[in-house]
């Protein structure tokens, strides 16, 4: 097993940093109580699936970092690298099982990434560390109250012309995001589920809608 995630150098990466305010970060993950005892881990599982999966495939140009802030250990991060993942299936319990396998191990130090299963890395640290590691990209804080993510009067192209920028999207679980990092951009005035917000980001990027960045 590698100890450092490989860099997706030379390709355009879509990155999602997701905050799990109450998400459990150490011990035995209760697979039958992801929403309750695991601290809304169900929300994070849906987010990571929405970020990484298409109907029949894995998006190899996506990276996701889940920020598990709910204790009982120090803040911990799980990083999923689409180009390296194996055994990642479109089934919530199976994805939760990968998370369970990672967090039953002792938490790594800040700055250290340990590969727990292929393409899933476990590390210490917080959002601050993630944003510094991803500082080579534009950072968009998804916020319904911000300006729209697309330009005024922008048309949706008839042919898919995927956006080739490397972009980081920052979003939260069911709780408000207490951060002023990144540029605030909205997907509409209605607050959505996080995994729906991720799906809309992919749609805009897949179709090549000109973004307001």
**For ligand SAM, which is the closer residue by CB, 110 or 199?**
199
**For ligand SAM, which is the closer residue by CB, 90 or 144?**
144
DSSP 82-118: TTT--S--S-HHHHHHHHHHHHTSPPPPBT-EEEEET
**For ligand SAM, which is the closer residue by CB, 133 or 173?**
173
By C-alpha distance, which of 134, 39, 145 is closest to 79?
A: 134
- Spatial separation of the C-alpha atoms in residues 108 and 76, rounded to whole Å: 8
Q: How far is the CB of 170 from ligand SAM (least distance, A)?
A: 7
The region, left, alpha or beta by phi > 0 then psi within -120 to 50, assigned to residue 119 is left
**For ligand SAM, which is the closer residue by CB, 78 or 114?**
78
Instruction: Please report where in the chains the tokens 């607050």 appear, as a residue.
Output: 191
- Spatial separation of the C-alpha atoms in residues 21 and 164, rounded to whole Å: 31
Q: Which of residues 148-207 bind ligand SAM (CB under 6 A)?
A: 171-172, 174-177, 186-188, 190-194, 197
Alpha-helical runs (H) found in 1-78: 41-52
Q: How far is the CB of 171 from ligand SAM (least distance, A)?
A: 3
Q: How far is the CB of 62 from ligand SAM (least distance, A)?
A: 17
Is residue 95 part of the contact set for ligand SAM (CB under 6 A)? no
Give the total of residues touching ligand SAM (CB under 6 A): 18
- Spatial separation of the C-alpha atoms in residues 207 and 164, rounded to whole Å: 11
Select from 74-82, 139-147, 151-159, 205-213 the region that touches ligand SAM (CB under 6 A): 139-147
Binding site for ligand SAM (CB under 6 A): 142-144, 171-172, 174-177, 186-188, 190-194, 197
């Amino acid at each position: 097993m590698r100890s450092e995630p490989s860099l997706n150098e030379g390709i355009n990466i879509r990155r999602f940093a997701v905050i799990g305010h109450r998400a459990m970060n150490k011990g035995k993950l209760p697979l039958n109580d992801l929403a309750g005892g695991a601290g809304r881990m169900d929300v994070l599982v849906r987010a990571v699936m929405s970020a990484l999966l298409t109907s029949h495939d894995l998006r190899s140009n996506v990276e996701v970092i889940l920020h598990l802030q709910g204790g009982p250990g120090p803040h911990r991060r799980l990083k999923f690298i689409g180009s390296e993942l194996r055994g990642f299936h479109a089934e919530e319990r199976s994805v939760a099982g990968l998370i369970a396998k990672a967090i039953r191990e002792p938490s790594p130090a800040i700055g250290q990434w340990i590969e727990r299963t292929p393409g899933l890395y476990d590390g210490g640290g917080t959002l601050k560390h993630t944003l510094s590691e991803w500082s080579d990209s534009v950072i968009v804080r998804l916020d319904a109250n911000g300006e729209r993510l697309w330009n005024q009067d922008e048309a949706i192209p008839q042919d898919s012309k995927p956006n080739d920028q490397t972009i980081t999207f920052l979003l939260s679980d069911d709780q408000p995001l207490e951060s002023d990092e990144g540029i605030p951009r909205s997907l509409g005035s209605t607050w959505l589920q996080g995994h729906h917000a991720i799906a809309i980001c992919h749609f805009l990027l897949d179709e090549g809608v000109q973004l307001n960045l």
